[in-house]
Amino acid sequence: MKRSAAWQADLSAFLEINQFRKFRYGEWDCCLFVCDAIQVMTGVDVAEWFRGTYSDRVSACRRLKEFCGAVSILRVVREITKAHEMAACGILQARRGDVVLVKRGRRVSLGLVAMNGKDVIVASRKGLWRMPMSEALRAWHV
């Protein structure tokens, strides 16, 4: 997977346009937010298999299980990053625009390393939300 020459400008514009977009399963959830950002940076749709196939938490969980045999965001990310040659990296090696798995209460969520390189951006019910990199559990280069 290779980022385009204009990935920084493209990602910045994408984040600005979507900053107030509210979480909605199957349209704008943590996974699709990250996959849309990857597509903006690379032109590759890593969520093609999932798009338009779920609309709530129950159907999302069913789709995850169909894809990787478990209701596990981590397993799905491992499968997709492996298929698209996105290498795992240490949290401290994660760069702007890279994918991160973060802890959110009792659950995990996907996010992106912010353009400042210090925060993680996640989709939330109130729009894009920043959290500290210290909440990151795993990371993958885009």
Residue whose C-alpha is closest to residue 108's, from 69, 78, 66: 78
**pLDDT score for 113:** 98
Any idea how long the chain is?
A: 142
- Cα 113 to Cα 135: distance, rounded to the nearest angstrom: 12
Q: Is 75 part of a structural domain of the chain?
A: yes
Would you give per-residue pLDDT tens digits along the chain (142 residues)?
899 999 999 999 999 999 999 999 999 999 999 999 999 999 999 999 889 999 999 999 999 899 888 888 899 999 999 999 999 999 999 999 999 999 988 889 999 999 999 999 999 999 999 999 999 999 999 9
CATH number at residue 14: 3.90.1720.10
**pLDDT score for 19:** 97
Q: Is 62 part of a structural domain of the chain?
A: yes
Query: What does pTM read for this prediction?
Result: 0.93
Q: Is 1 part of a structural domain of the chain?
A: no
Tokens of 123: 């989709």
* Structural domain span for residue 26: 7-140
**pLDDT score for 69:** 87
**pLDDT score for 126:** 93
Tokens of 116: 């400042």
User: How many structural domains is the chain composed of?
Assistant: 1
The phi and psi torsions of 15 (rounded to 5 degrees) equal: -65, -40
Distances (CA, A) of 98 to 11, 26, 57, 86, 141: 11, 22, 25, 9, 5
Residue whose C-alpha is closest to residue 128's, from 37, 49, 59, 44: 37
